[in-house]
């Protein structure tokens, strides 16, 4: 398989994987990066923001060279939500559920 074909296949797989993740985040709580101007203290706690929409843009720009790199951003998105938000909040709860559903574990 040529490099272009392999990249296209990876992009398709990642888009499908992200669609399943987004479906499971039914309220889109982790869809967009947090605006630190709207959420005081966020930038002090979260040094590497990530969200589903950012991952979507990275897929389209061919910025992922492997499923592992994509999965790292998936875990980062969930870890950020769990780090910044208390355990009894919807953001923490959806991140926990997504990690369980999609085979990730909090590092």
| Cα distance between the two ends of the chain | 35
Can you say whether the dihedral through the CA atoms of 71, 21, 62, 50 is positive or negative?
negative
CA–CA separation, 8 vs 107, rounded Å?
30
Asked whether residue 1 carries a pLDDT value surpassing 80, the answer given is no
What is the share, in percent, of the chain residues with pLDDT greater than 90? 92
pLDDT of residue 3: 79
Q: Are 99 and 80 in contact (CB under 8 A)?
A: no
CA–CA separation, 42 vs 31, rounded Å?
16
pLDDT tens digits, one per residue of 5-32: 999 999 999 999 999 999 999 999 999 9
- Homologous superfamily of domain range 3-101: Bromodomain-like (1.20.920.10)
pTM of the full structure: 0.92
Q: Which residue has the tokens 């999609």?
A: 102
Domain boundaries, the chain: 3-101
pLDDT tens digits, one per residue of 30-51: 999 999 999 999 999 999 999 9
């Amino acid at each position: 398989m040529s490099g272009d074909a392999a990249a296209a296949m990876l992009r398709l797989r990642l888009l499908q994987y992200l669609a399943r993740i987004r479906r499971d985040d039914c309220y889109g709580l982790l869809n967009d990066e947090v605006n630190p101007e709207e959420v005081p203290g966020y930038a002090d706690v979260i040094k590497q923001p990530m969200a589903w929409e950012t991952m979507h843009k990275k897929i389209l720009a061919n910025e992922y060279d492997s499923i592992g790199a994509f999965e790292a951003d998936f875990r980062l998105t969930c870890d950020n939500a769990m780090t910044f938000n208390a355990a009894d909040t919807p953001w923490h709860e959806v991140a926990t559920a997504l990690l369980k559903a999609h085979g990730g574990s909090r590092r």
